[in-house]
């Protein structure tokens, strides 16, 4: 190797290191700022506010319900998408993934047009007394809408990665389709499923725009933690920072879980 080539390679590596440094600094800085902008005491004081605790509790309840709905309905749906080839499959996949790239305001408008009091489905729902707008059910509706694609996408990929031979072996040994799915496919794909669930939950935890438009903001009913942060930032910046710190910590915990579970899944053979 000539001296020129070595120098070029060193310059290239240096450029890569600079790029990564910039990326890390830029992405980490706001997160760090949340924690250092005010004293830990002020952060905790912000959290002692009962309405802040209500908001956090409501967030945990709503995201948990949304996650449960997403798993129960999304897992079989993802299995179908992963294992069957049918006409219009790619159209279905595109439709399912669309909320991933949809602006939250568009999601809010869409939810209102569909499930709002004057919406296509919302009007009959209202006649039945089941109108979700401005209710906790409305929050869950918004969360499921924006978060479900994260799970579906990940679950589909995880199911697609399951080795066909294991499924065939299970069937050869006399297990039915349902049993094969429950006892072989799901356990093998669990790493991917949990990753998808964590991502969906994280997205639901941060949901703001669609919730505000569709469910409104009312303490203990529809005011989730992001809405409470928004309400505070004008008058109580420390309080907003305190709640933000909790959400950042929760999100970090979720990501960490995903990493650990993901590593376990490789050992468990999902990549096999």
Partner 1 sequence: MRTLRRTALLTSIVALAAAPLAGCGDDEPTSGEGGTTATNVTLKVSAATSLKTAMEDFGGGFTAARSSFSFAGSDELAAQIRQGVRPDVYAAASTKLPDALHAEGLLEEPVEFATNSLIVAVPAKGSKVATFDDLGDAGVKLAIGSDTVPVGSYTRTVLGRLPDATRKAIEGNVRSEEPNVSGVVGKLTQGAVDAGFVYASDVHAAGDALRVVDIPDELEPTVRYGAAVVKDAPHPEQARAFLDALKGPDGQFALQAAGLGPKP
Burial of 139 (0-12, 13-18, 19+ CB in 10 A): buried
Q: Of 141, 255, 128, which is closest to residue 204 (Cα–Cα)? A: 141
Q: Which is nearer to partner 1, 166 or 208 (CB)?
A: 208
Give the binding-site size for partner 1 (rule: CB under 8 A).
21
Question: Which range, of 4-12, 27-35, 112-120, 258-266, touches partner 1 by CB under 8 A?
Answer: 112-120
End-to-end Cα spacing for the chain: 38
Cα–Cα dist 89/222, whole Å? 36
DSSP result, 91-140: HHHHHHHGGGGS-HHHHHHHHHHHHSTTSTTHHHHHHTT---TTSHHHHH
Q: Could you give the string, one character per residue 114-153, with x where binding to partner 1 holds by CB under 8 A and - elsewhere?
A: --xxx--------------xx-------------------
Which token pair is 4? 């020129």
Cα–Cα dist 33/217, whole Å? 27
Cα–Cα dist 239/51, whole Å? 10
Q: How far is the CB of 119 from partner 1 (least distance, A)?
A: 9
Contacts of 250 (CB under 8 A, 6+ apart): 205
Question: Which range, of 42-50, 68-76, 214-222, 244-252, touches partner 1 by CB under 8 A?
Answer: 214-222
Q: How far is the CB of 72 from partner 1 (least distance, A)?
A: 28
Question: Which range, of 72-80, 193-201, 229-237, 242-250, touches partner 1 by CB under 8 A?
Answer: 229-237
Question: Which range, of 14-22, 160-168, 183-191, 227-235, touches partner 1 by CB under 8 A?
Answer: 227-235
Q: Which is nearer to partner 1, 133 or 197 (CB)?
A: 133
Our finding on whether 166 is near partner 1 (CB under 8 A) is no
Our finding on whether 37 is near partner 1 (CB under 8 A) is no
Our finding on whether 2 is near partner 1 (CB under 8 A) is no
Judged by CB under 8 A, which of 143, 191, 224, 231 binds partner 1?
Answer: 231
Give contact residues for partner 1 (rule: CB under 8 A).
112, 116-118, 133-134, 212-213, 216-219, 221-223, 230-231, 233-235, 237
């Amino acid at each position: 190797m000539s001296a020129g080539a070595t120098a070029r390679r060193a310059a290239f590596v240096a450029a890569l290191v600079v790029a990564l440094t910039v990326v890390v600094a830029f992405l980490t800085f706001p997160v760090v700022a949340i924690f250092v902008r005010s004293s830990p005491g002020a952060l905790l004081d912000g959290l002692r506010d009962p309405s802040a605790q209500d908001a956090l509790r409501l967030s945990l309840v709503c995201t948990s319900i949304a996650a449960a709905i997403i798993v129960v309905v999304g897992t079989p749906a993802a299995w179908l998408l992963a294992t069957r080839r049918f006409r219009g499959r790619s159209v279905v996949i595109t439709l399912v993934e669309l909320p991933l790239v949809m602006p939250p305001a568009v999601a809010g408008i869409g939810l209102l047009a569909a499930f709002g009091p004057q919406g296509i489905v919302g009007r009959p729902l209202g006649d039945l007394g089941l109108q979700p707008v401005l209710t906790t059910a409305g929050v869950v509706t918004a969360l499921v809408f924006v978060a479900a694609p994260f799970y579906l996408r990940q679950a589909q990929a995880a199911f697609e990665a399951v080795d066909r031979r294991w499924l065939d072996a299970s069937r050869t040994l006399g297990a039915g389709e349902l049993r094969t799915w429950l006892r072989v496919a799901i356990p093998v794909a669990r790493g991917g499923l949990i990753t998808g669930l964590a991502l969906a939950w994280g997205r639901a935890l941060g949901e703001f725009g669609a919730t505000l438009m569709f469910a409104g903001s009312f303490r203990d009913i529809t005011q989730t933690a992001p809405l409470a942060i928004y309400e505070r930032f004008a008058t109580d910046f420390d309080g907003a920072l305190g709640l933000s710190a909790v959400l950042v910590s929760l999100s970090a915990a979720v990501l960490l879980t995903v990493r650990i579970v993901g590593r376990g899944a490789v050992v468990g053979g999902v990549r096999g």
